[in-house]
Structures are given as structure tokens and as C-alpha cells.
Amino acid sequence: MQLDIRLTADRGTPEALALPVFPEQEGQFDEELTAFLEQAEHKGKAGETAALPRPLGTPRKTYLIGVGEGGEAGWRAFGAALTRAASRETSVTVGLPAGLTTAELSGLAEGLRLAAYRFRAVPLSEDKAPKLAEVILAGEADEQAVQAGIVTAEVTLAARDWVNTHSGEKTPEWLAEQFRAAAEAVGGVDVKIWEPGQLADEGFGGILAVGGGSTRGPRLVQLTWAPEGATQHVVLVGKGITFDTGGISIKPAAAMLLMRKDMGGAAAVAAAVLGAARLKLPVKITVLTPLAENAVSESAFRPGDIVTHWGGGTTEILNTDAEGRVVLADALAYAAANLSPDYLIDLATLTGAQNVSLGKKTAALFSDAPDLAKALTEAGEQVGERMWQLPLPADYVDDLRSDVADWVNSTEVGAGTVMAALYLREYAGAARDRWAHLDMSSVAWTEGADKEFSKGATGWGTRMLIRWLSTLA
């Protein structure tokens, strides 16, 4: 169910009320609430929740939810906790304190909407489905800030839907059409889709090789938001493997199970440009998503094959499961040569090793541009999408050289996440000093609900990118 968020100046007499709790703040509440909070040992930590029922009173229930130190993160946690705690209400009114900042209001709206998300291919029965249909924000609040949070949340949820969709449905063509339909619904975003024949005519050998094993052919999608007066051009590239079996270098069953998420990068960059367009950010953005299914069949590419990428670079395939970099190489080379980016950023669920280095809640960042790395890290920090920069050691590059082609797509020297990043940098061409790579393998998915994240796809990267793009404006 879609959660509606409304603003009103007057609180009225709601059935269900939600109030923020600040840590160690005397006199926040009347005697009854103060005593209740003490008995409940509520400390006002961000997202900490208690509900006081008064069966015959009005409000019938008061939700007391911590905002910790406040700020964007505190209010996002408040929103997420409220959505979860009040899922059996139909409507809740939030008593807003005066003076909330723009960031706090948009964070609140994001927390509310993002945590309300459930992906169900088959609808839940009525007794199990969340009932919460609206949250009323009562108080003085900047409506535009709330709207911005809602927009950011909505595009993030689109990304989650795309990632969660099972790969029986999610073919490259299907995903390309989803991107097209979403762009058309927003308006102002140009769409170009390369079909397999066009990919062949123009020399996108990496995308064709990886997609060659599937009857459900590959696509390349370009989405362009070019507002008048924009002075900077950002190119965002996203890995879009709609299912990764590993190909002939096949994955074991357990490692394959969730490989529908292997287009999380593509989903995030597509969602980000839609968000930027809806927010009318005054920066030109081109999104490129190579989409392919890495399948096993007699037409699949093989270990030992040599692939010629767009622009003429070549890769010796040592492992067909290192397919992400092979499709990204085409897109990066194309972007660097044709699109004159001021920034070239790729997002990809690229290596299992990323989870080994950094665990489930931190993505890996690579860049030779310190200012860009810093700005992306800060944007991620603000929205709750953490990343950590890893090195690009120059002397590791030699391990990527092939005897028979320019590069190999897989090595056995350890540092799998680093080696993949070094490979991509070679295809960023003249834009390599303005390039950043985000390996988001572990963070694209979560096994349990946590703050604003619901179980399953996270939409990771969408909010970070929108935040970073808005700083360029």
C-alpha cells in the first residue's frame, strides 16, 4: 500500500498520535507521558519506540519515538520506526516541533515512505498486510522539503521494485521498457535503447558476449536529463545483469540464488536520473545501463574467448562469471569517448569479495579524484549509504595483462574487488581522472528490515547519487 504523507497546521484530535522523544530533555511531556517514558526506560535514542495505549482516551494510542541527536539521520530513523510501529493503524498524526530544517523534514518523509515498503509478487492477505495508509504531519513545515523527501523515496522504491522482481519476468528487454516507461512518466528524460542488432552494428562486443548465452537478448539503455543552462555533465553507468548464473564458469547453487539483484547498479542510476529530473536539478545527466542475462547455453561465451569492446579494447575471458566488468567496459569506453563527462561514475554489484572486505553495510569506493571521492562519501554519509575508499595500486595492473589480448577479466592474485576496479579504470579512458567506481555487491540487498531498509532490495545508491547531484547544482 502506498503511504500518503500530508501536511497540516493544526493537530486536531487524532486517534493515533506520534511524538518525538529527545534524549535527556526535561519537560518535554506532561506528567503521565514523562512517567510512562521513565517506566519504559525510553532514552530517546534515534528510532527507539514505545506506544502508550489509552483505550478509552483520545488519542487512543500515543507513539513515542526517539530522534536521538535529531538531524537528517535522527528524523529519518524516527520516520522509519513510526511506519513500522504503527503499521496496524490506518492513520497517524505526527506532532512536529517547530523549526525543523529542510534536511530533517525530507529525512522524515524518506524514513516514513522507505520503511513502509514491502515487495510482494503475490499480495498479502488482508489480515497480514500493513494498514497504515496516511501519516499527517501536524505543525509548521516547509512543504517543499517534505515533497523532496517523498520524490527521493519514490524513485528509490522504483529501484527496489526492479531489483526485487524475479528474473523469470525481468529480462533485459523488460528492464529497458521499465526504464523507458518510468522516464516517460516523469517527462523531460530522453530514452535511447540499443537492440542486439544495433549493439552489433556499433561494436558493443562485451555486452553481446555476456548476453549471448540467453534467448532473452541484451540491451543498452541511455537516459538523458539535459536541463537548460546546465554547466556540468555527469555520466552514470550501472551494471545491469538481469540474472547471473556465472555462465559456463557456473556458480554453485547457493551463490546463484539471489542473482536477480545483479542489476542493482543499473536500477540505482536509472532511479537517480528520474529523481534528478523530478527535482529539476540543473545539471546534465546521462545514464547508461548495459543490460544482459549471463546464462548457460551452447551460445554462451566461453572461458578463453576474446571479446572486442566498443572502441576496440580487447579482453581475454578467463572466467565467464566476471561478466559485470565485461559489459561495463563497453559502456565506460563509449561514455569516455562520446559523452565528454565532467564526472564518470559507475555503480555495480561487481564482486563477492566486496562483502569480504567491508561487510554488509559498507560499499567500496574507488577513485583517483580525491574531491569526487570525498563528495560521494559525504553524500552517502548524509543519506545513510556508507562507503569506504579502497586503493588502486599501480603495480597491481600488470596482473591484469593478457598474453593474447589487452586485459584478462579475472585474476587469482587476491584483492578481487580492487582488481575489478583496476580493470574498469582502463576503460574509463580519458575520463579516468574524473571517474569513480562503487562496488555495491553486499549493500544491494538486506536479509532483514533495518531502519529505512525493508527486507530484500535496498535501492542502494539512488539516494546518495541524488544528494551528490544536488550539491553540483
List the catalytic residues: 251, 325
CB 273 within 8 A of CB 280: no
439-458: contacts with ligand BES (CB under 6 A): 441
The set of cell numbers assigned to 23 is 534524549
The residue whose Cβ lies closest to Zn ion is: 244
Q: Which range in 75-83, 92-100, 285-293, 321-329 contacts ligand BES by CB under 6 A?
A: 321-329
Q: Residues 244, 346, 406, 439: which binds Zn ion (CB under 5 A)? A: 244
| Nearer CB in complex with ligand BES: 138/420 | 420
Residues 6+ apart with CB under 8 A from 165: 121, 260
Q: How far is the CB of 246 from ligand BES (least distance, A)?
A: 6
Closest among 97, 106, 146 to 382, alpha carbons compared: 106
Strands 16-21 and 61-66: parallel
CB 242 within 8 A of CB 190: no
Residue 262 in the binding site for ligand BES (CB under 6 A): yes
Q: How far is the CB of 404 from ligand BES (least distance, A)?
A: 18
CA 94 to centroid of chain Cα atoms: 28
Closest among 197, 219, 201 to 210, alpha carbons compared: 219
Rounded CA separation 345/72 (Å): 25
Q: How far is the CB of 320 from Mn ion (least distance, A)?
A: 8
CB burial of 121-147 (b: ≥16 within 10 Å; e: otherwise) equals eeeeeeeeebebeebbbbbebeeebbb
Q: How far is the CB of 264 from ligand BES (least distance, A)?
A: 8
| Nearer CB in complex with Zn ion: 159/241 | 241
| Nearer CB in complex with Zn ion: 86/328 | 328
Residue 44 in the binding site for Zn ion (CB under 5 A): no
CB atoms near residue 468 (< 10 Å): 23
Q: Amino acid letter at 59?
A: P
| Nearer CB in complex with Mn ion: 307/464 | 307
Cross-strand partners of 310 = none
Residue 353 in the binding site for ligand BES (CB under 6 A): yes
| Nearer CB in complex with ligand BES: 178/410 | 410
Cross-strand partners of 290 = 220
User: Which of Zn ion, Mn ion, ligand BES, none sits in contact with 206, Cβ below 5 to 8 A by type?
Assistant: none
Q: How far is the CB of 96 from Zn ion (least distance, A)?
A: 44
Q: Which range in 211-219, 274-282, 322-330, 464-472 contacts ligand BES by CB under 6 A?
A: 322-330
| Nearer CB in complex with ligand BES: 239/451 | 239
CB 115 within 8 A of CB 92: no
Closest among 366, 361, 360 to 328, alpha carbons compared: 366
Residue 262 in the binding site for Zn ion (CB under 5 A): yes
Residue 100 in the binding site for Zn ion (CB under 5 A): no
Contacts with Mn ion by CB under 5 A lie at 244, 321, 323
CB 213 within 8 A of CB 247: yes
Q: Residues 416, 456, 459, 461: which binds ligand BES (CB under 6 A)? A: 416
CB 319 within 8 A of CB 412: no
Rounded CA separation 454/94 (Å): 22
Residue 150 in the binding site for Zn ion (CB under 5 A): no
Residue 72 in the binding site for Zn ion (CB under 5 A): no
- Chain residues that interact with Zn ion, rule: CB under 5 A: 241, 244, 262, 324
Q: Return residues touching ligand BES (CB under 6 A).
A: 244, 246, 262, 319, 321-324, 349-353, 410, 416, 441
